[in-house]
Amino acid sequence: MTTVLGRGQCGGHLTLIFTVEDSHEDPYFQGSRGAGICLDDGVESIAKGEVGEGILIVNGINTSFDDSLYHDVLEELIKEIPEIREYDWELSIRMSLPASQGFGMSASGAIASAISIQRAIGVPHEECLRRSFMLAHLVERRRSSGLGDTTALSSGGVERRIVPGSPFSGKLLHHGPGKADSWGASFPVLLSWKERTGTHTSEYIDQPEWKERISKAGDGAMGSLGLGDWNMERWSELIQESRLFSSFSGLTKDSSRSELLNTIDEVIVREGLSDSVTPLLCMLGESVVIVPLDPQNQEDWASRLIPNLEQKQLCTFASRVGTQN
């Protein structure tokens, strides 16, 4: 019996600022403007296919999740590449970070799984990547599990999304309509979150009052961030606008996020690191990313914070900003 194997990997994404732009009837044009950080760590997918009828089994490695995401990805892939239905598939999914905590795991998982299945049947690298980002965007919009994560991840690094929509579209996988800029620099970040699962993204982006408040705050932030060159010199501006967005949108006070921020702030101050790092909310989880005020700072500040945060019953994960794709 013929067996085919493929691997896909995609880092996570931390949304710091966003708008909700889902009024267009075509999901290719839905999405968000905003800014955020792409991570090295995310989701790895190993695909094994054997001649069959398109059946899918999903195995989580040291994790649990809703496997319907991966069934949706396979359904979209079969529409694009009917040959994929000639196999039964087994996906082994390894997630570095929890779902529903603002780490972009649904987009990362959709991208990684789409890559692994296509690579298993020999789809060329660039075509495989473009189709994976496009189909992940469509699946995210169908499920209301995300808006701009796939466009951000297609760019990598520290990104800003200046036009909403899918990063690729159409049979020829052309660029757009979504557009993002990024600058790449590999520097450490520290994630911290409450162990319980966060609020599902759809509970915000599908709720009219939240959509209005979030989009108004996002528009305000992107009024300045969306202009001019996008490079490392804009880092302090991104930090400031992220704080303002969190406050003006009302998301800081919702779901005890302010309590989480205060706890982490106290630890940072106690360790004498308030001049070196700062905490920013990850949208839309109950989580925080601690970032250096200077991306070129080589100080090992994370190892000083981790034990103190864990004493506060918070989960931690040390990662790095992902490089540009």
| Percentage of residues in the chain having pLDDT higher than 70 | 98
Nearest-CA neighbor of 83 among 54, 107, 43, 42? Answer: 54
Kindly state the average pLDDT of the residues 21-42.
96
What span, in angstroms and rounded, lies between the C-alpha atoms of 52 and 179? 39
| Span 259-310, pLDDT tens digits | 999 999 999 999 999 999 999 999 988 999 999 999 998 899 999 999 999 9
User: Which pLDDT band holds residue 55 (cuts at 50, 70, 90)?
Assistant: very high
- Residue 104: name the closest of 37, 165, 155 by CA: 37
Residue 221: the pLDDT is 98
Distance of CA 227 to the CA centre of its chain: 23
Q: What are phi and psi of 12, to 5 degrees?
A: -85, 175
In terms of Cα–Cα distance, which of 76, 80, 222, 64 is closest to 139?
76
Residue 199: which pLDDT band, with cuts at 50, 70 and 90? low
Model confidence at 324: pLDDT above 60: no
Interatomic CA distance for residues 259 and 201, integer angstroms: 20
β-pairing, 34-51 with 277-282? Answer: unpaired
Arithmetic mean of pLDDT over the chain:
94
Query: Per the structure block, which two tokens stand in for 76?
Result: 């979209």
Q: Dmax over Cα atoms in the chain, in whole Å? A: 62
The answer on pLDDT for 219 being more than 90 is yes
**pLDDT at res. 288:** 97
Closest Cα to residue 277, out of 250, 248, 306, 251?
306
* Mean per-residue pLDDT, 32-37: 98
Q: What is the rounded distance in angstroms from the CA atom of residue 279 to the CA atom of residue 324?
A: 23
Q: What's the whole-number mean pLDDT along residues 79-100?
A: 96
Q: Lowest mean pLDDT: which of 20-29, 34-43, 64-73?
A: 64-73
Query: Measured between alpha carbons, how far is 322 from 37 in angstroms, rounded to an integer?
Result: 8
Phi and psi for 75 in degrees, rounded to 5? -60, -45
Dig out the tokens for 234 from the structure. Answer: 């804009």
pLDDT band at residue 211 using 50, 70 and 90 as cut-offs: very high
Q: How far is CA 287 from CA 22, 62, 251, 316, 325, in A?
A: 25, 21, 12, 10, 25
- What local confidence, expressed as pLDDT, does residue 202 receive? 72
Give CA–CA dist 133/116, Å, rounded: 13
Domains and CATH numbers, the chain: 3-183 (3.30.230.10), 188-320 (3.30.70)
Q: Is the pLDDT of residue 318 over 60?
A: yes
**pLDDT at residue 171 is higher than 70:** yes
* pLDDT level of residue 128 (50, 70, 90 thresholds): very high
Please report, as a single letter, which amino acid is at residue 104: G
Question: Which carries the bigger pLDDT value, residue 198 or residue 304?
Answer: 304
Model pLDDT, residue 316: 98
The DSSP code sequence of 257-268 is HHHHHHHHHHHH
Cross-strand pairs, 116 = none
pLDDT band at 124 (very low <50, low <70, confident <90, very high): very high
Q: Is 28 helix (H, G, I), strand (E, B) or coil?
A: helix
Give CA–CA dist 312/325, Å, rounded. Answer: 36
Structure tokens belonging to residue 255: 């779901």
Under the banding of pLDDT at 50, 70 and 90, the label for residue 255 is confident
Q: Residue 325: which pLDDT band, with cuts at 50, 70 and 90?
A: low
Beta bridge partner(s), residue 175? 168
> Is 205 within 8 Å of 20 (Cβ atoms)?
yes
Regarding predicted confidence, which is higher, 148 or 254? 148
Of 287 and 184, the one with more pLDDT? 287
Instruction: Note the pLDDT of residue 323.
Output: 74
pLDDT, residue 198, reads 56
Query: CB within 8 A of 41, min separation 6: which ones?
Result: 11, 12, 96, 97, 317, 319, 320
Neighbours of 273 (CB within 10 A): 19
